[in-house]
Amino acid sequence: MADAKLNMDLVSTPRMEGDAAIISVRGDIDLHNSPELRTAILETISKKPVKRLILNLSQVPYMDSSAIAVLVEALQKLRPTGGRVMLVDLQPRVKGLMEIARLDTIFVLVASEQQALTM
Amino acid sequence: MNGIAGRPSSDGSSGSDNIRRLNFAVVMIKQWEIQSDPAKLREVRTDLENFTRSIGMKDEASNAVGLVLNEALANIIRHGYDGATDKPIRVTAEQVEKELKIVIRDWAKPFDPALIKPRYEDELKPGGLGLICIRKLMDGFKYERLPDGMLLTLTKKLV
């Protein structure tokens, strides 16, 4: 497998707002680049206490099970301290996969970053 | 590539497609020979989705087929080839009348899919989602253990 290197085209620089970390993701995510997403998320939540990890997925038309595994891992790390993973503006294919995986009720699905910040 | 009437395919070439007549059934075939490199997933997935649309499959079904192929290939790469990126995988997609058939051949270590526990047993334990996709999104699937690898056959009605 390729080394996981942070690709700014895939993942934005994380933005902190209070106890929330906001990351925007762009493009298809599959086994090829999901390690980059994993690196970005784990680095973010390890640097500061994060109660809400807000992932803007409005520009992610496709993801596979390796991307889902990254999201689940993030949730596993945040849950013990009461943290949540909030997914913003899921595109139809991504939402469909979430439903197949029965994870649409495990994550907090929201329409906008603003909505996530008010929850 | 252009279709060639009356000439069977399966010549092993990469990305080939043919048209042939078998007992009045028009058959479209496309084949990919790839290496077990995750960087290839998107290209093959997109190519297959385009192929399924070209034979009349609707967008939702084409997307489902693309996802299933992606998951099947990812399973081979991760579990069969232990992440090696230079091992062979052959994918053949064909239309037989009103059905799409996809055959995925690898030369990886064999496995028994029955031994993989459904992920639903623990909602936060990743893994097994690929098989869930195959079961839920395809009309039929069959794993066959070969002396030197595995053969996965997937079928879906054209709707």
Q: What is the mean pLDDT of chain B?
A: 82
Domain spans of chain A? 1-14+36-119
Give pTM, 2 decimals.
0.84
Residue A30 contacts residue A66 (beta carbons within 8 Å): yes
- How far is the C-alpha of A59 from the C-alpha of A94, rounded, in Å? 11
Q: Which CATH number is associated with domain A1-14+36-119?
A: 3.30.750.24
Q: How confident is the model at residue B3 (pLDDT cuts 50, 70, 90)?
A: very low
Do B74 and A1 make contact, defined as CB atoms within 8 angstroms? no
Domain spans of chain B? 33-157
pLDDT tens, residue by residue, B19-63: 555 555 657 899 999 999 999 999 999 999 999 999 999 999 999
The CATH architecture assigned to B33-157 reads 2-Layer Sandwich (3.30)
Taking residues A31-49, report their average pLDDT: 94
Sign of CA dihedral A93, B139, B66, A72: positive
pLDDT tens, residue by residue, B78-96: 999 999 999 999 999 999 8
| Token couple for A5 | 């290197």
Is the pLDDT at B73 greater than 60, yes or no? yes
Question: Given CB atoms, is A108 within the 8 Å cutoff of chain B?
Answer: no
Is the pLDDT at B2 greater than 80, yes or no? no
Do A65 and B126 make contact, defined as CB atoms within 8 angstroms? yes
Interface test with B, best of A5, A7, A30 (most B CBs within 10 A): A30
Taking residues A18-39, report their average pLDDT: 95
